[in-house]
Structure 1
Amino acid sequence: MKCLYYLSPTIASVSKITDDLHKAGIDDWFIHVMSKDETGLTTNKIHSSNYLEQLDILRFGIIGAIGGFVVGLLAAYWFYSAKPFGPDVSVGAYYAIVVFFSLFGAWEGGLTGIATENKKISQFHDDLENGKNLVLIYAKKDAESVIGKIMSRQHPEAELAAIDSSFYNPLTRLKRI
């Protein structure tokens, strides 16, 4: 499933885009809109984006978990080598140390991600601040051509800004068109 990013100039245009996509069989679950005008989205019953799309929770959570895992391995090795609790500590305790640090790192990373704009969406920050609307369309392979035809023929005002192989893979890069 690909994620198609379209920049649209107005909420009225976004409303027409979503109506046309609904007529083509694209469900609301596959259309998310980011806009500075959240009231306009609500008034027009347009499906707004979610926190995973707006914030960098996943990416920082994964990075934190990896960092915590490495720290946990080092801590477990130190406890194994130094034996501060004696020689009879079970292997499960060392696993628990690694799991604890991994989970702590994921938690800390997630907290950092809550305070950070999504890396992929940050490329459109200035456009969003200037009043444009970002339409994210999750396209199944068989619907890509239909969506492309609808957008190019009926909505030339909407600019195809980027195509991503998968939005929810937080470690991939997005190339803006």
Structure 2
Amino acid sequence: MRRVYFLAPDITTTKKIVADLSLAKIEEKHIHVIAKRGTPLEDLPEANLLQKSDFIPAVEQGLAVGGATGLLAGLVAIALPPASTVIAGGVLLATTLAGAGVGSWLSGMIGMNVGNRRIKEFEDAIEAGELLVLVDVSADRVTEIESRIKQHLPQVEVEQTEPRVPAFP
């Protein structure tokens, strides 16, 4: 899956695009709209916390850093003199898993309170009243979706396409 980002000038145009995307068999759960705080989106699919925050990248980073730290702590623990080889494997596995768990949990908590890094470049346009639309599509449909969007907004530039989208929404 790839995530396509584009800006729409108003709610009316955004509704037309979302309706057209629905006709193209893009489920509503794969369309996310972000608007200025206080803007009524009516029946448009609003982006949730996972799209608005840095939660998923933070969990991924915390998992990697925490796992590496746990592995290092496990290696230090088995390097101490009273370690036996049977116990050493269990200690190494336990510290790696504990480090990965704690790292992903703490990073996720922090990431929920940080705005999405990928959306930061659109903040000025959103504050000016434009709507940011994120559409999750398979890689082979990106060109088709871009052309459908350009039917409604010929001047639109698809701002960014993410190479991958997390498996869970």
Q: TM-score, normalised by structure 1?
A: 0.80
Cα distance change, pair 154–9 in 1 and its aligned pair in 2 (3 A): closer
Deviations for 1:98-123, whole angstroms, at most 9, x for unmatched residues?
21111111111111111111111112
Number of corresponding residues? 165
CA contact (8 A) 1:34 1:134 kept: yes
- Give the distance between the partners of 2:5 and 2:76, measured in 1 at CA: 48
- Give the distance between the partners of 2:32 and 2:91, measured in 1 at CA: 45
- 2:145 pairs, out of 131, 144, 147, with 147
- 1:56 pairs, out of 54, 57, 66, with 54
Deviation, 1:141, is: 4.3
CA contact (8 A) 2:55 2:108 kept: yes
CA contact (8 A) 2:32 2:135 kept: yes
- Give the distance between the partners of 1:142 and 1:102, measured in 2 at CA: 34
Cα distance change, pair 62–26 in 1 and its aligned pair in 2 (3 A): closer
Amino acid at match of 1:6: F
Deviation, 1:124, is: 1.1
Deviation, 1:157, is: 5.8
CA contact (8 A) 1:69 1:99 kept: yes
Deviation, 1:142, is: 4.9
Identical pairs, percent: 28
Give the 3-state SS of the residue equivalent to 1:168 in structure 2: coil
CA contact (8 A) 2:13 2:152 kept: no
Deviations for 1:38-75, whole angstroms, at most 9, x for unmatched residues?
6522x2x1111122211111111111121112221221
Amino acid at match of 2:131: N
- Give the distance between the partners of 1:81 and 1:129, measured in 2 at CA: 56
Please say if 1:160 is aligned against 2:164.
Answer: no
- 1:124 pairs, out of 116, 122, 125, with 122
Cα distance change, pair 77–165 in 1 and its aligned pair in 2 (3 A): closer
CA contact (8 A) 2:146 2:158 kept: no
Amino acid at match of 2:40: G
Question: Unaligned stretches of 5+ in structure 1?
Answer: 170-177
* Structure 2 equivalent of residue 71 of structure 1: 69
More off after superposition, 119-128 vs 156-165: 156-165
Question: Unaligned stretches of 5+ in structure 2?
Answer: none
CA contact (8 A) 1:7 1:133 kept: yes
- 2:108 pairs, out of 107, 110, 120, with 110
Q: CA RMSD in A?
A: 2.3
Please say if 1:25 is aligned against 2:40.
Answer: no
CA contact (8 A) 2:53 2:112 kept: yes
CA contact (8 A) 1:9 1:133 kept: yes
Amino acid at match of 1:26: I
- Give the distance between the partners of 2:139 and 2:107, measured in 1 at CA: 33
Cα distance change, pair 57–87 in 1 and its aligned pair in 2 (3 A): same
